[in-house]
Structure 1
Amino acid sequence: MLLHEDDAYNIDGDSYCSECYHDEVDKNRSIHDYGYKPEPIFYGGDSIRYFGVELEIDGAGKDCDNADEILAIANKGEDKIYIKGDGSLDDGLEIVSHPMSLEYHKQFQWEEIMKKAIYLGYRSHQTSTCGLHIHVNRDSLGDSREEQDEVIARILYFVEHHWPELLKFSRRSEYSINRWAARYGYEKTGREILDKAKKGNNGRYAAVNLMNYTTLEFRLFRGTLKHNTLIAALELVNDICDLAISLTDEGIANQSWSEFVDTINEPELIQYLKERRLYINEEIEIQEEV
C-alpha cells in the first residue's frame, strides 16, 4: 500500500500507517490497553492442552515501573507474560500469560512474580476486585466442535452438580461470584445446561465462559498471590477436563464429590483441598491468602 508522507507515522526510521503505528506502539508498552491480544506463543513442547492465566492484582497502581519489574522476572528474552489495564480494578494490573502446558506453568516463575507483586504493595485475594481466570484450548477437548460441545456439556454439568464445593474452592463470596462468574443453573443434563449457556444471558461473566471461539474460560476463582493456590486451580481445571473427556454423561452425573477427590493425586491440589476442608477433615497448617 502506498503511503503519503503526510500520513506516515515514524518509529526508528520506519514508516507506518496510523493503525500499524498504534499497534507497534502498543507492543512496546509495559501496560497494554484492556483489548490488547497478541498472537499467542505456546510453551510446553508438544502438549495437547494449554492454559492461559489472567491474574488480577490491585492496590499499588497502574504503574509502568512496577509492570517493568514484574515483566523482567518473567520475560527473559522471550515474551511469556504481558500486562494490561483493567477497568474493574481500583488501582492495579492484570497479568496475562501466553498459553502454557500445566507442567510449564508449574516450573514457570509464578512464585517469584507473586513475591515481587507483594513486595510492590499489590494484593489479590485480599481485595474485592480481583479474579483468577484460566483459559483452556477448546481443541484439547475434542477434534470437532461437536465432540468439544459434548465434553463442555459434561464440564458444565460437573460445575452445577458440585456448585457448593466449587464455590468453597473459589474463595469468592456469593455476591462476587454472582457478579463476575455466575452459574448457568442446574438442569437434568449437561446438554440442557449447554443450550442455556449458548443463549449468552450471562455474557462473559459466567463461571465457565463459552464466548471465546478457541478457548474455554474458567472464571470461578478469586485472585491470589499464593503460589500453591494458583497451581491447585490449574490442576483442578485440568482434572475436570480429563474427567469430562473420560466419563459418560451418566458417569459424571453419578460421581460424588468424594469420589472425584479420591481420583486426585497432585500434591498442590490435595494441599489446597485440605486447606478448604474439601478433602479430608484433618488439621493442617494454613498459610494466609494474599
Structure 2
Amino acid sequence: MTATAQDEDVCFHCDAEVISEHTRTNIDGEFVCDDCTTLHYLQCDNCAHIFRTLLIVEDDSESLCDDCAAAAGYHECLDCRYLVLGRSRCTGCENERRGCWEDYVYGAGYKPYPRFHGDGPLFLGMELEINTPDFDTQLCQLCQDRIDSLAYLKEDGSISVGFELVTHPMSLAWAQANFPWGLLDELAARGCDGDDAGLHIHVSREAFDGHSHVFRWMKFIYRNASEVQQLARRHDSSWAQFSQLERAEVKDICKGDRDRPRYSAINVQNDETFELRMFASSVKPREVQAALAFADASVRYAHQLTLRAIVREDGWSWESFLAWTADRPEYDALSRECEALACAC
C-alpha cells in the first residue's frame, strides 16, 4: 500500500494525522509518524533512510541497508548476517570453524543470525540429533553439500559421536518442498541413526494470536500427552517431561512466566520461540516430516478451536485433531504416521 492523495496525511501504522512535507516515508513510500518510526524502523547509518531491518558490519561500527552495503562492497558472512569485506566469513564464524571434523561441526554454543525461509508468521526450526559411526569428515561434507545455507552442524552434549543438524527457521510448506529429505536416507545408508537422541522443533512465538491461543495450544498438547508421545516415539523422557505441574500451570505460563524447567515437553524459556522437545530423533524422512507437520498443525488447530467446539464437539480430543488434519493435504505425512502407529486408538 503506497500513500495516495486520500491518506497522505495519515501515518501508515497508527493512522495519526501528520504533515506530509515534514514526515518520513518508508521504502514503500508510506508516511510514518515520529513515534512509529522509533517503534518499527531502523535508520541506515549511510543514507539515513528508514527500514524494518538492517545489516550490521562485523565490528558493529555501522548498520546499513542492502543498497548501501552493496555499494560499499560488503557481502553477508556465509554463516550469519554480519557484513564482511574481502572474506567469505566474519571473524567470529571463522573462529568457530576448526580443523578436520571441526571444520564442519561448530561448538555447542554456536548460534548464527536466523535466516527465514518461506512465508510466516509460523516458522519452524528443527534440531535433529544424529549419531554417526565415527568422526567421519566425509559425513559432514555430505551434509554440508546437501544443506548448504539452510542449516548447520553443531556439537551437542547428549551425543557421544555425532552432531546436531540445526535448520534456520522454515515454514512447513517451504520445508516440505526444499529440505533435502534424501539426505536422511543417505545418512542411514552410511550407518547413522537417531537412537537415544532427540528431535526438537522450535515454533515462532509470533505465530500465536495472543495468550488464549497459546493456552489452547499447550492445553491440547498436555491433555493428549499419551497420543503425542506415541507419535513422538518417546515416552517418559527426562529430557522432555510431561509434568502434571506444567499442565496445571499453563495459564501462568501463557501470561509470561518463563521461569519453568527447560526439560519440559514444551520449553518456554526462549524469547522468540516455544520448543517442542518430546520427539525422538530419526533418519527416516516420514517420521521427521510428521514431527514438523504436528508442530504446524497443532498451532493452527488451536487457533481455530472455539469454546463451542471444545464443549460440544470434543475439540480437545486427539480424534478431533486427526479428523481436522485429515482434510488438509499439507499434513499427509502426519496422517500416514499416525495411521502406522495407530495413534487414533
Which secondary structure state, in structure 2, belongs to the residue aligned with residue 49 of structure 1?
A: coil
Q: Does 1:134 align with 2:193?
A: no
Give the distance between the partners of 1:233 and 1:13, measured in 2 at CA. Answer: 41
- CA 252–51 in structure 1, closer or farther in 2 if over 3 Å, else same: farther
Given that residues 120 and 207 in structure 2 are in contact (C-alpha distance below 8 angstroms), is that contact kept between their aligned partners in structure 1?
no
Given that residues 244 and 252 in structure 1 are in contact (C-alpha distance below 8 angstroms), is that contact kept between their aligned partners in structure 2?
no
Deviations 1:124-152 (A, max 9, x none): 1xx12x1111111111113xxxx1x3322
Decide which structure has the larger Cα Rg and report it: 2
Give the superposition deviation at 1:47.
Answer: 3.0
Which secondary structure state, in structure 1, belongs to the residue aligned with residue 277 of structure 2?
A: strand
Give the distance between the partners of 1:180 and 1:122, measured in 2 at CA. Answer: 21
TM-score of the pair, normalised by structure 1: 0.77
- CA 22–38 in structure 1, closer or farther in 2 if over 3 Å, else same: closer
1:260 to 317, 321, 331: 321
Root-mean-square deviation over aligned CA pairs: 2.7
Q: Does 1:171 align with 2:238?
A: no
Give the superposition deviation at 1:23.
Answer: 3.7
- CA 25–198 in structure 1, closer or farther in 2 if over 3 Å, else same: closer
1:155 to 217, 235, 241: 217
Residues 3-152 of structure 1: pairs in structure 2 closer than 5 A? 21-26=91-96, 29-44=103-118, 46-75=119-148, 79-124=149-194, 127-128=195-196, 130-142=197-209, 147=210, 149-152=211-214
- CA 213–272 in structure 1, closer or farther in 2 if over 3 Å, else same: same
Deviations 1:54-82 (A, max 9, x none): 1011132344332111110121xxx1110
| Equivalent residues, number | 249
Given that residues 70 and 116 in structure 1 are in contact (C-alpha distance below 8 angstroms), is that contact kept between their aligned partners in structure 2?
no
Which secondary structure state, in structure 1, belongs to the residue aligned with residue 106 of structure 2?
A: coil
Using the aligned pairs only, state the percent identity: 27
Show structure 2 runs of 5+ residues with no match: 1-58, 60-84
Q: Which amino acid aligns with 1:89?
A: I
- CA 62–216 in structure 1, closer or farther in 2 if over 3 Å, else same: farther
Given that residues 55 and 132 in structure 1 are in contact (C-alpha distance below 8 angstroms), is that contact kept between their aligned partners in structure 2?
yes
Match of 2:55 in 1: none
Show structure 1 runs of 5+ residues with no match: 2-11, 15-19, 282-290
Give the superposition deviation at 1:161.
Answer: 0.8
Give the distance between the partners of 2:287 and 2:259, measured in 1 at CA. Answer: 32
Match of 2:335 in 1: 270
Give the distance between the partners of 2:291 and 2:172, measured in 1 at CA. Answer: 11
Give the distance between the partners of 2:324 and 2:159, measured in 1 at CA. Answer: 37
Match of 2:281 in 1: 223
- CA 257–197 in structure 1, closer or farther in 2 if over 3 Å, else same: farther
Q: Which amino acid aligns with 1:270?
A: S
TM-score of the pair, normalised by structure 2: 0.66
- CA 239–99 in structure 1, closer or farther in 2 if over 3 Å, else same: same
- By percentage of residues, which structure has more helix? 1
Q: Does 1:198 align with 2:271?
A: no
Given that residues 115 and 169 in structure 2 are in contact (C-alpha distance below 8 angstroms), is that contact kept between their aligned partners in structure 1?
yes
Give the superposition deviation at 1:24.
Answer: 2.6
- CA 195–97 in structure 1, closer or farther in 2 if over 3 Å, else same: same
Give the superposition deviation at 1:98.
Answer: 0.8
Which secondary structure state, in structure 2, belongs to the residue aligned with residue 40 of structure 1?
A: coil
Deviations 1:201-226 (A, max 9, x none): x2x21111111100111111000111
